[in-house]
């Protein structure tokens, strides 16, 4: 969504907000040293991200390091610290690596005329390349959610040929409710949010408040 | 807001009526006379006693009659005073045709106009607009001479248009179509009456079956959503939103001082609430035409009959590319019937190609099958009038079939003068005619989409 410079909600406040609305997101923690990142990984592959109000496009700016194990974690942490120097204040977040599935974007923004809008699209880099997204005014009904999915060219990819449609519909309804219940949310991006046949998790959370 | 005094006025005052043929006020008065308006008509002009045989008054306050509608066509700076007089004279509604307000940066002057409208609770359309046309009440405030702009016949389609130029252009095009007009409302700067008020009025207007809406920017978004939710439950709304690109939005800003909202947001709202979305001006007419005349289809399968193989293939392609439509098969009984009745060179399949020598009788048998077969929900008859067998009798067959048919039926005829003549003949009998395969097929798809919306939510 568009990125005017607005107050960026702390990642974990955003995560708590999602929790309260029953929206799952990937296990994450702020880390202040390479050692604490290694400890967090418990031997699993992890992701390190640098979060700063001065850098809204993390992956484009090389501030996301994916699929790190063992010594890679230490090297990536040092690299992010170096990159973070001009971006202070910043924090580094460690997340469990979320593998497989389909990356979608679920988002919302406040339109000056129509109020809260909700968006679902093929996510990650594809959202800008293919512009395959559906938009509706909140609050949406179950039928609106169904139609949003049906409208997408990527509908069969996103729903695994319809197998997880119910889950995606429920998720859209939860995000719509969250947008309606929290008037302070100006814009929200859950991008990527990873959908699988049997589950999902929001991997990145960006919430701009009014 | 009650727009009835504006659309069905029993008395009208033209403020700025003039003897000078170049003045807008002259054309408006002339048009009222030409249209045969049967109510009480008054001219307001400070300098004249009488204009074109109509008694003129120096001020609306001097007219000893209740005025339902005042049409104001004087320079912008004099408009507030004229409106103030209308308010004091208890005029029921006002149309400000004059430009020179927010669209050129004179927002203060426009705010004064709104203040007066609110002070007297006087519904005010414009400024910077063409006003209204209602062929039933013969109200016509357009300052465009009738010899330049043909006026549509009476019908069920109401056309709501923010832009005056698009409004007059499309109106001219509508007059060449088979469907007729219920109301034309050009609302310009939307200072007092906006699209929300107009849609609320037309929703309850029994004379309006279908609405065409051209908007540049919607100002009261949430109120718009409220009327949008309800109106498409009652009647279809075909919408064209201008200002799709950033460049387009900048143009909209300088045009009618509208803040052309983000196109995607508008499109999302239209889609969510069952509007029929047009991509360009020709879609407005194509979609309105089918929604005005055709019943809802029971399903998504199309039966195609044609006298040209190529045209049949183009239509089959367009159906194949549409997300929602399919070509239906014929029942065994009908397949048998067609085998017996058609000459051997006719392949019994859909599209049913009757061959280049098809005449009215062959169309008659094919259409009987299309009409009666339960596997066919909508009928598309391709009639190419260039072939030797097709003539007015074929068109007459199609018309008489249409009258009996309970399914949606449209015709595709591509061609120039001879075809155009038959198009008028069929359309005036209520059979929509299209001139390109994609326009015909997309219109069927939109009819189905709207029918599904009405049947579902």
- Token pair 């729903």 is found at A159
**B312 Ramachandran zone, left/alpha/beta (phi>0; psi -120 to 50):** alpha
The reply to whether A74 and A161 lie within a common domain is: no
Q: Is the predicted pLDDT of residue A48 greater than 80, yes or no?
A: yes
CA distances, B275 to each of B105, B228, B240, B451 (Å): 33, 8, 10, 11
Interface touch B261/A136, C-beta < 8 Å: no
Instruction: Compute the distance between CA of residue B183 and CA of residue B8 in angstroms, rounded to an integer.
Output: 10
The closest CB to that of B269, out of A137, A147, A151, belongs to A137
Q: Which of A2, A4, A115, A135 to mutate to test the interface with B (most CBs of B within 10 A)?
A: A135
Per-residue pLDDT, averaged over B219-231, amounts to 95
User: Which of these ranges, A17-26, B199-208, B236-245, B324-333, has the smallest mean pLDDT?
Assistant: B236-245
The reply to whether A77 and A118 lie within a common domain is: no
Q: Is B61 on the interface with A (CB under 8 A)?
A: no
> Of A50, A76, A96, which marks where a domain is finished?
A96
- Residues facing A189 on adjacent strands: A107, A206
Compute the nearest-CA separation of B269 from chain A (Å).
Answer: 6
Q: Which residues of A touch B455 (CB under 8 A)?
A: none
**Residue A57, pLDDT score:** 67
- Residues facing B139 on adjacent strands: B134
Q: C-alpha angle with apex A91: A87 to A96, nearest 5 degrees?
A: 130
Q: Is B284 on the interface with A (CB under 8 A)?
A: no
| Cα dihedral B45, B48, B53, B59 sign | positive
**Model confidence over B7-61: pLDDT tens digits?**
999 999 999 999 988 888 999 999 888 888 989 999 999 989 999 999 999 999 9
Compute the nearest-CA separation of A125 from chain B (Å).
Answer: 20
**Model confidence over A147-160: pLDDT tens digits?**
999 999 999 999 99
Is A6 inside any structural domain? no
Q: Is B324 on the interface with A (CB under 8 A)?
A: no
Is A113 inside any structural domain? yes
| Residue A39 structural domain | 28-96
Is A51 inside any structural domain? yes
Residues ≥6 apart with Cβ < 8 Å to B294 = B408, B409, B410, B432, B447
Residue B267's closest chain A neighbor by CA?
A: A135
Q: Is B456 on the interface with A (CB under 8 A)?
A: yes
The reply to whether A74 and A89 lie within a common domain is: yes
> Are B37 and B12 within 8 A, CB to CB?
yes
Q: Which of A203, A175, A23 is nearest to A102 (CA)?
A: A203
The reply to whether A122 and A81 lie within a common domain is: no
Average pLDDT, chain B: 91
Report the CATH number at residue A129: 3.30.470.20
- Token pair 């170049």 is found at B22
- Residues facing B57 on adjacent strands: B44
**Model confidence over A126-136: pLDDT tens digits?**
777 777 889 99
- The ipTM assigned to this model is 0.85
Interface touch A151/B224, C-beta < 8 Å: no
Q: Is the predicted pLDDT of residue B252 greater than 70, yes or no?
A: no
Residue B219's closest chain A neighbor by CA?
A: A113
The torsion of the CA quartet B288, B289, B290, B293, rounded to 10 degrees, works out to: 110
> Are B446 and B290 within 8 A, CB to CB?
yes
Compute the nearest-CA separation of A158 from chain B (Å).
Answer: 18
The closest CB to that of B265, out of A117, A134, A143, belongs to A117
The closest CB to that of A115, out of B221, B262, B267, belongs to B221
Is A1 inside any structural domain? no
Interface touch B265/A114, C-beta < 8 Å: yes
The reply to whether A60 and A130 lie within a common domain is: no
**Model confidence over B312-370: pLDDT tens digits?**
999 999 999 998 999 999 999 999 999 999 999 899 999 999 998 888 889 999 999 99
Q: Which of A114, A115, A133, A140 to mutate to test the interface with B (most CBs of B within 10 A)?
A: A114
> Of A65, A96, A127, which marks where a domain is finished?
A96
Walk across the sheet containing A28-31 and list its strands.
A28-31, A90-96, A46-52, A64-68
The reply to whether A152 and A200 lie within a common domain is: yes
Percentage of the residues of chain A whose pLDDT score is greater than 90? 66
Interface touch A112/B261, C-beta < 8 Å: yes
Q: Is B272 on the interface with A (CB under 8 A)?
A: yes
Is A5 inside any structural domain? no
The reply to whether A47 and A106 lie within a common domain is: no
Interface touch B225/A135, C-beta < 8 Å: no
Percentage of the residues of chain B whose pLDDT score is greater than 70? 95
Residue B271's closest chain A neighbor by CA?
A: A136
Confidence of residue B256 (pLDDT cuts 50, 70, 90): very low
**Model confidence over A183-202: pLDDT tens digits?**
999 888 898 899 999 899 99
The reply to whether A127 and A182 lie within a common domain is: yes
Where does A42-164 have alpha helices with state H?
70-84, 126-130, 142-151, 155-158
Is A16 inside any structural domain? yes
The closest CB to that of A114, out of B269, B271, B457, belongs to B269
Q: Which residues of A touch B261 (CB under 8 A)?
A: 111-114
The reply to whether A77 and A152 lie within a common domain is: no
Q: Which of A107, A110, A113 to mutate to test the interface with B (most CBs of B within 10 A)?
A: A113
Report the CATH number at residue A69: 3.30.1490.20
| Coil/strand/helix, residue B332 | helix
Interface touch A111/B224, C-beta < 8 Å: no
How many domains does chain A contain in total? 2
> Of A63, A96, A129, which marks where a domain is finished?
A96
Q: Is A180 on the interface with B (CB under 8 A)?
A: no
Q: Which residues of A touch B456 (CB under 8 A)?
A: 143
CB contacts under 8 A, A 129-158 vs B, are 134-137, 140, 143-144, 147, 151
The reply to whether A152 and A90 lie within a common domain is: no
**Model confidence over B405-438: pLDDT tens digits?**
999 999 999 999 999 999 999 998 999 999 999 9
Count of CB pairs separated by less than 8 Å, A with B = 46
**Structural domains in chain B?**
1-128 (3.40.50.720), 149-293 (3.40.50.261), 295-456 (3.40.50.261)
Interface touch A137/B264, C-beta < 8 Å: no
Is A136 inside any structural domain? yes
The helix (H) or strand (E) run that includes residue B333 is helix B332-341
Is A115 inside any structural domain? yes
The reply to whether A134 and A174 lie within a common domain is: yes
Instruction: Compute the distance between CA of residue B425 and CA of residue B386 in angstroms, rounded to an integer.
Output: 16
Q: Which of A137, A138, A153 to mutate to test the interface with B (most CBs of B within 10 A)?
A: A137
The reply to whether A113 and A159 lie within a common domain is: yes
Q: Is the predicted pLDDT of residue B278 greater than 60, yes or no?
A: yes
**Residue A3, pLDDT score:** 40
């Amino acid at each position: 969504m568009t990125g005017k410079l607005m107050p960026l909600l702390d990642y974990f406040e955003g995560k708590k907000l999602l929790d309260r609305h029953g929206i799952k997101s990937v296990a994450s923690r702020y880390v202040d040293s390479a050692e604490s990142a290694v400890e967090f990984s418990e031997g699993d592959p992890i992701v390190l991200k640098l979060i700063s109000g001065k850098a809204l496009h993390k992956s484009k700016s090389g501030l996301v390091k994916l699929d790190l194990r063992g010594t890679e974690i230490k090297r990536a942490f040092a690299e992010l610290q170096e990159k973070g120097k001009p971006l202070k204040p910043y924090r580094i977040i460690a997340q469990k690596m979320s593998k497989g599935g389909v990356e979608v974007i679920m988002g919302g923004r406040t339109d000056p005329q129509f109020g809260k809008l909700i968006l679902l699209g093929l996510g990650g880099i594809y959202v800008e390349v293919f512009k395959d997204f559906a938009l509706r005014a909140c609050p949406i009904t179950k039928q609106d959610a169904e139609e949003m999915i049906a409208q997408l060219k990527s509908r069969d990819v996103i729903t695994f040929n319809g197998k997880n449609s119910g889950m995606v519909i429920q998720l859209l309804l939860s995000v719509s409710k969250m947008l309606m219940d929290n008037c302070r949310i100006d814009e929200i991006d859950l991008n990527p949010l990873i959908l699988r046949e049997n589950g999902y998790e929001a991997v990145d959370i960006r919430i701009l408040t009014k | 807001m009650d727009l009835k005094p504006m659309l069905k006025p029993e008395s009208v005052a033209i403020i700025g009526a003039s003897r000078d043929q170049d003045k807008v006020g002259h054309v408006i008065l002339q048009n009222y006379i030409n249209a045969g308006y049967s109510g009480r008509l008054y001219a307001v002009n400070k300098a004249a006693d009488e204009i074109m045989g109509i008694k003129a008054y120096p001020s609306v306050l001097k007219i000893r009659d209740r005025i339902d509608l005042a049409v104001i066509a004087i320079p912008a700076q004099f408009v507030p005073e004229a409106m103030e007089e209308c308010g004091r004279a208890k005029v029921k509604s006002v149309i400000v045709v004059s430009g020179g307000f927010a669209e050129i940066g004179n927002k203060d002057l426009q705010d004064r106009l709104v203040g007066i409208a609110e002070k007297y609770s006087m519904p005010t359309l414009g400024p910077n607009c063409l006003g209204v046309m209602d062929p039933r009440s013969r109200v016509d405030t357009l300052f465009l001479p009738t010899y330049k702009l043909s006026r549509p016949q009476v019908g069920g389609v109401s056309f709501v248009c923010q832009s005056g130029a698009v409004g007059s252009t499309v109106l001219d095009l509508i007059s060449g179509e088979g469907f007729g007009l219920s109301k034309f409302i050009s609302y310009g700067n939307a200072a007092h009456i906006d699209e929300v008020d107009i849609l609320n009025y037309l929703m309850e207007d029994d004379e309006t079956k279908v609405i065409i809406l051209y908007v540049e920017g919607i100002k009261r978004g949430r109120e718009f959503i409220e009327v949008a939710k309800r109106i498409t439950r009652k009647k279809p709304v075909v919408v064209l939103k201008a200002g799709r690109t950033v460049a387009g939005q900048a143009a909209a800003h300088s045009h009618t001082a509208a803040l052309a909202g983000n196109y995607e947001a508008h499109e999302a709202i239209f889609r969510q609430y069952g509007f029929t979305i047009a991509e360009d001006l020709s879609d407005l007419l194509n979609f309105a035409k089918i929604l005005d005349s055709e019943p809802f289809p029971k399903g998504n399968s199309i039966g195609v009959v044609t006298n040209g193989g190529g045209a049949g293939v183009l239509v089959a392609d367009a159906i194949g590319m549409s997300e929602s439509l399919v070509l239906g098969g014929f029942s065994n009984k009908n397949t048998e019937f067609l085998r017996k009745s058609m000459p051997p060179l006719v392949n019994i399949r859909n599209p049913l190609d009757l061959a280049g020598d098809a005449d009215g009788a062959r169309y008659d048998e094919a259409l009987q099958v299309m009409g009666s077969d339960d596997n066919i929900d909508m009928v598309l008859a391709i009639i190419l009038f260039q072939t030797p067998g097709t003539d007015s009798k074929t068109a007459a067959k199609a018309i008489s079939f249409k009258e009996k048919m309970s399914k949606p039926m449209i015709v595709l005829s591509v061609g120039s003068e001879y075809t155009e003549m038959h198009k008028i003949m069929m359309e005036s009998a209520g059979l929509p005619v299209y001139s390109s395969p994609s326009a015909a097929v997309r219109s069927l798809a939109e009819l189905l989409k709207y029918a599904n919306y009405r049947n579902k939510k």
